């Protein structure tokens, strides 16, 4: 097989390769599949990609399914849209992301910014680089007295699933109590807080998403018929 040589400089990037060798590389490296993964990761449609590259949506569709072979010029246009070098499409296929987090390896950390933490948490995704979400296991401790929980806020959205015990959730001017099996999904840019709602500790899985989806979530909603507002009979 011939060699594909990519020559780069500060101002220009040239690819020197004979057409036959290029076609073999493109077929063997599953270029279409790589393009489709990049596009879907950006939640970009074929029409939108076509507008950025000057290529038709039908051509891009055929390219992704391997029915046509792109020229290096067209491939370079696509690479630029995703801020990739042309060489990205010819490098060895990276292994799919797969990380196991053993319980014995996790670190238990207390709630920050308070003298008496009301909960402890463990990251379930600390070994994943450039992650799009942060999953945690949290344990909420019973509280003595009537102290109000410390509220916080951050960009994106948040999902919480109660594993055991009772948990009181404050979101803006709303308050609700969740029990084991109940879940809630909410806009995390609104001040929110949690508090154990019983005499026993409550456990929960929390997932924070870094960016809001295109469809903005409405007010906090409990994803279970068992969830009920505080004070409801």
Q: 226 pLDDT band (50/70/90 cuts)?
A: very low
Mean per-residue pLDDT over the chain, rounded: 80
Of 23, 55, 90, the position where a domain reaches its end is 90
- Choosing from 45, 61, 90, the residue where a domain stops is 90
pLDDT-derived band at 19 (thresholds 50, 70, 90) equals: low
Q: Residue 8: pLDDT above 60? A: no
Is 97 among the domain residues? no
What is the domain-level CATH number for residue 206? 2.60.120.10
Query: What integer pLDDT is reported at residue 1 of this predicted model?
Result: 41
Res 219: pLDDT: 45
Cα–Cα dist 198/141, whole Å? 9
pLDDT at 233: 35
Amino acid 27: pLDDT: 62
Of 90, 124, 140, which residue is a domain's last?
Answer: 90
Q: Are residue 116 and residue 81 in the same domain, yes or no?
A: no
Range with lowest mean pLDDT among 102-106, 203-207, 215-219, 226-230:
226-230
pLDDT score recorded for residue 10? 32
Do residues 207 and 109 both lie within one domain?
yes
pLDDT for res 94? 63
Query: Sorting pLDDT into bands at 50, 70 and 90, what band is 93?
Result: low
Report the C-alpha gap between 164 and 202 in whole angstroms. Answer: 5
**Do 126 and 224 share a domain, yes or no?**
yes
In a domain, 10, yes or no: yes
Q: How far apart are CA 193 and CA 182, in angstroms?
A: 17
- Domain assignment present for residue 222? The answer is yes
pLDDT of residue 124 exceeding 80: yes
Considering the domain architecture, whether residues 214 and 120 belong to the same structural domain is answered as: yes
- Give strand pairing partners of 219: none
- Tell me the C-alpha distance between 221 and 186, whole Å: 7
Do 52 and 148 reside in the same domain of the chain? no
How many Cβ atoms from other residues are within 10 Å of residue 32's Cβ? 22
- Predicted confidence (pLDDT) at residue 33 exceeds the cutoff of 70: yes
CA distance 22 to 79: 16
Residues of the domain holding 158: 103-229
Residue 64, domain CATH: 1.10.260.40
Question: ∠ CA 14-15-20 to the nearest 5 degrees?
Answer: 155
pLDDT at residue 52 is higher than 80:
yes
Q: What is the share, in percent, of the chain residues with pLDDT greater than 70?
A: 76
205 and 108 belong to one structural domain: yes
Query: Distance between CA 204 and CA 59 in Å, rounded?
Result: 47
User: Are 68 and 138 in a shared domain?
Assistant: no
Whether residues 134 and 179 fall in one domain: yes
**Nearest in space to 197 (alpha carbons), one of 172, 222, 175:** 175
Q: How confident is the model at residue 223 (pLDDT cuts 50, 70, 90)?
A: very low
Q: Into how many domains does the chain fold?
A: 2
Residue predicted with more confidence, 130 or 37: 37
Residues 6+ apart with CB under 8 A from 85: 6, 8, 13, 79
Q: What is the C-alpha to C-alpha distance for residues 41 and 34, in angstroms, rounded to an integer?
A: 11
The pLDDT, as a whole number, for residue 160 is 97
Together in a domain, 134 and 221: yes
74 and 158 within one domain: no
User: Is the same domain home to 156 and 222?
Assistant: yes
- pTM for the complete prediction? 0.58
| 108 and 74 belong to one structural domain | no
pLDDT in tens, 190-220: 999 999 999 999 999 999 987 654 444 444 4
């Amino acid at each position: 097989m011939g060699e594909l040589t990519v020559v780069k400089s500060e101002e220009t990037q040239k690819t020197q390769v004979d057409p036959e060798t290029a076609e073999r590389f493109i077929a063997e490296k599953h270029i279409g599949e790589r393009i489709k993964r990049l596009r879907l990761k950006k939640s970009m449609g074929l029409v939108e990609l076509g507008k950025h590259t000057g290529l038709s949506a039908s051509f891009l569709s055929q390219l992704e399914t391997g029915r046509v072979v792109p020229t290096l010029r067209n491939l370079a246009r696509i690479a630029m849209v995703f801020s990739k070098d042309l060489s990205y499409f010819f490098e060895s296929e990276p292994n799919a992301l797969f990380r196991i987090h053993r319980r014995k390896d996790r670190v238990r950390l207390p709630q920050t910014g308070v003298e008496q933490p009301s909960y402890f948490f463990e990251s379930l995704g600390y070994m994943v680089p450039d992650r799009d979400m942060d999953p945690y296991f949290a344990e909420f401790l019973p509280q003595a007295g009537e102290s109000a929980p410390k509220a916080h806020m951050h960009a994106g959205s948040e999902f919480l699933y109660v594993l055991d015990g009772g948990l009181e959730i404050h979101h803006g001017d709303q308050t609700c109590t969740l029990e084991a099996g109940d879940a809630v999904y909410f806009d995390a840019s609104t001040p929110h807080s949690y508090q154990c709602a019983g005499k026993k500790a409550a456990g929960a899985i929390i997932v924070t998403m870094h960016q809001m989806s295109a469809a903005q979530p409405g007010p906090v909603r409990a994803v279970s018929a068992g969830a009920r507002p505080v004070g409801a009979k």
